[in-house]
Amino acid sequence: MQKVKIAIKTSEYGNSRLKETVALLLDAIRTRGESAVREMAAQYDGWSGEFVLQEDKKQRLIARVPEQVKTDICFAHDQVFRFAQMQRQSIQDFEVRPHPGVRLGQRVMPVDVAGCYVPGGRFAHTCSAVMSVATARAAGVPFVVACSPPRGESIDPAVAFAMDLAGADMILELGGVQGIAAMAYGIFSDRPANILAGPGNAYVAEAKAQLAGDGTCGIDVYAGPTESAIIADRSADPMTIAIDLVSQAEHGPDSPVWLFTDCRGLADRVLNLVPRVIADMPNHHVPKAAWADFGEIILCNDRDEICRLCDAYAPEHVQILAADPDWWLENLRSYGSLFLGEGSTVVHGDKCSGTNHILPTRKAAHHSGGLSVHKFLKICTYQEIDRAANKRFSAVASRLSRIEGMEGHARSCDWRLNKFFPDENWDFHVHKNLINL
């Protein structure tokens, strides 16, 4: 392996000052509620209006959205919602009777309340509204609150339309830590969120992490800067690679983009093309910084080495511009979402293909996937063991409890053995004096 282009920076997470700032903000909101939220909204967003988007204002915003934009958002929503419905159908309730007198099962139930955050800083993340809200709805969540930071006099009209289309019960014109905390604590809805979903800046990500860490609610993923990798061989078009790398570097100056290849000529050609593609961009300073500081081109000996290295990086997105895409589908193990063939770009997944674009970053793909209906579901088990079955199950559980040194556990089963089978000669060694109480 050789790095044809080396990243001169690595993404830093867990900044201690950021952690402390977020902790102070969350504590203020936890103790002072809406008054603290109002102060922060004024300070950070210059917002002093109402936080809950009322129906009349929502309809005025929706009326401002061009019909073609509405059509496109509806198309994206249909793809995402249908895919999420298929995910929901992939996991079912079941019940089994593995032994006479024993009934075991699981129930798959949605959480009661979902909070969906939609970023609104440099971009109006219309598609993020679809990704989180529609997926929660497909899971069957009965109450969904969505929030996004206001941009001027309101949240973005297209974002409002997407939230409404996807089925948000309440929309908050509120962003940042204060938006996250308002959903988590149920400040405006009186319904604290069981799970928070959606990407955001470092403060939003840290707020979600701290709220999950203290047990306030669950979260989808810890969303760091967007990461994208391309795997390419000599058959790939260098210009396609360069354009796709730059398209993802547009996310932010700290967004890593990586090329893995076993072709030196291709690597050199892409290295030459990327700066020219960047120079042609209207916002060229952002992808220029991302490419300079975090971009890498990694030259490997063969596809097996590419596979090992790419899995080590565990990128959020991986594009395959190489022969035999199904080989890569079969062999790659750690990624957020995979894009097979030249016809598939990350942008499709970001916007409208149907898979979710809220995905694991900073190597979290080693242990988890991205947002899906499963994040909004609880798998709850149940069991029923009748009296006859206790003759075996309580005896086994009692012995195992004593092996582990858990005498109280053993006595719980001993009690049932004596109660259900009083004529048996059980060797309890314990609490004989309790039997006739």
Q: Which residues are catalytic?
A: 316-317
Pairing of strands 228-232, 317-321: parallel
Q: Which of 320, 316, 349, 350 is nearest to 334 (CA)?
A: 316
| Residue among 127, 114, 324, 109 at smallest CA distance from 220 | 114
Residue type (1 letter), 433 = N
Q: Which residues pair with 385 in a beta bridge?
A: 102
Asked if residues 115 and 145 have their Cβ atoms less than 8 Å apart, the reply is: yes
Instruction: Please provide residue 212's backbone torsions phi and psi, each rounded to the nearest 5 degrees.
Output: -70, -40
First to last CA, the chain: 75
CB-based contact 47:173 (threshold 8 Å): yes
